[in-house]
A and B are shown apart, each in its own frame.
Chain A
């Protein structure tokens, strides 16, 4: 079906179903309960899950297949974002031209950066990409302020030209839309204690992600994907067989840059604002971490990694000491104090600490990333006997 193999179609459909029902899945706790803090089913975070999912899927096409570790991918995300916001300012608040332009401009930028950086391999390549991204960030923050808005970034303004749009009614502000359907529009469904939010922007981004994932799977399974794997395993041998690896890697680099640009364009479509720190090296590092955390070279791994990091960033950081006390309200004060004392360093302003610990634990205990964790759990329940057989047949490395 759809030109995919059986196991691929199973994974693909699983992702599709999870994405469609995300508003339910991510809101498992009733509104009024103390655990509602852990609900992630609100538009902003759901949008971020899929957008960073796209970013990581794209990164994985380069890193997972060719093994080239780009440390400057956030530059493409940023360039895409700037392209999209300028389309919104100049042409129309409809998100389509912005998204198309973000992919195009990021692609062109990726051709330039890729052409130069791919002259080197290994760590030398990583540093070249890092250098380009850091230069983009530094210039966007300072001397390019007239184009990028500098520190304060760019937002749509009432006074923008917007050549294709009808004039705004007075008191109206420009809003990102898809042929009139605003990205911010949400529908709420209240079921006894639960409230589920269905957001237009989320579903637009989700459809784009599903298409992006489909294309990525096709690339993974295509002859082109095989070539890219050959680049990873042995470039030397590839050259001896008369194949030039450079065009293949450059194509992979550009495709993955376009994915990043697409993510950047969608970010602007969902939340109409661009700031330069989107291109800082920590943002590039984040997508590397997402991919490794989820499972390099796997199909859904990067999406899982992106989800986990964004979940920590947005949910964990909002838990403060008061909320902890609320949770432990039924316990005696002294025990509550001790519990809060123990947990407090890991939540709220300490969310980075938890993130660091998770990174270390995953890589120590699950060398294949979260996907391996999923497989292990699956094996534990499903095919207990088979795993033993598999284990013994595994090479010792």
Chain B
């Protein structure tokens, strides 16, 4: 035969499509998936069946209507559904901007599979968990080095919980200083994760939101107008979702400090900044890192993640209990924190993610960490230079100077063709790509946000660029292909939002679905 020429064009892809039933439809009376441990005869003969002790009204009267399925069929069902999930390990995962979808090293997964970690109970004697405590303590030291902060807490299970923890500490701090009532406002910005504003609201704060100036930065003049004796805190990311580094950040933190507020830094994504610039020098009192973003722990379909919060010395007494310290050669859980906010999450954090992040840093070392950031920024600027050339794409705000991500806009394409960013999202699935628009509200019209991290090669980036270019061409030549997409996904287009928005029609569980729709042909259409 002749040499088979693999052509560099858009990927000829089709996602696994199993048309898998909902698990209840696999039910076969009498089948078993697993048999749990049974009591020894000697116990049964002494105790009886155990459940007879229950008062009648507390004893379950009807067995739960769980399906009965043999083990192989359960396994197969879930394996098939896993194949219908486009995890980061399978694609050029640069489309979920702000999420830092980098490579999660396989060796770390092997390490955390150890029973030496999995089987640990959080209330074990400290003597029996020295390994985990040591790793946590050392990770604390590394993150202090990276951020300039003085102490870290690993209790939060994600960035949202880290933001909540920081808002809680802001409140505790002002309360301890007799200004809890007076300081009732937290200032945030619109190009930030919604949880910045949402978690501060949970802690009883009024929210002031800064909008960007003409260059895409939060407006310093507006901040000056916003601060007052009511300011409790200021929370901001830098770069924000636009990827633009705000070079005046120190002026921002000074304005807030002068007004008596606390500055906390959303570093959920710090992927462009390792060894480059730190929270401390920019004037922040607290910051947090998502270990499931910058520090490579996998995103696990949405958690558990890990939000590591760093604070300056004066805020240490407000940290949730306990923190991990080294006393002599021993690692201990210290609960002696005078103004502690108590707890945000049970126990001490997501230990498996602490080990993964620790291992990731150890694998990279100081030079490797800096190379991570430099490569992430290089990749992003390469991508940026190509994406902005695609017909129909606009890049709002400052020219140049983007760090790890960029928020783009399809507004020109939409004006020309009527194709929306959501349409493009569905079509990207046909080429094995994740694609994310942005959080609401859409300040940038028809937005999409790309973050290529350090994990993807030039060729990977070129593939993504080819796909977007191809779709742009389709928008101008055959928009119906996009409008009816996806064509190569596990499922076809959902054409109505009736089943998500109408209380009469939605079904959040299978039993609700059966109640509403079983034997009702007209409703099923």
- Physical interaction between A and B: no
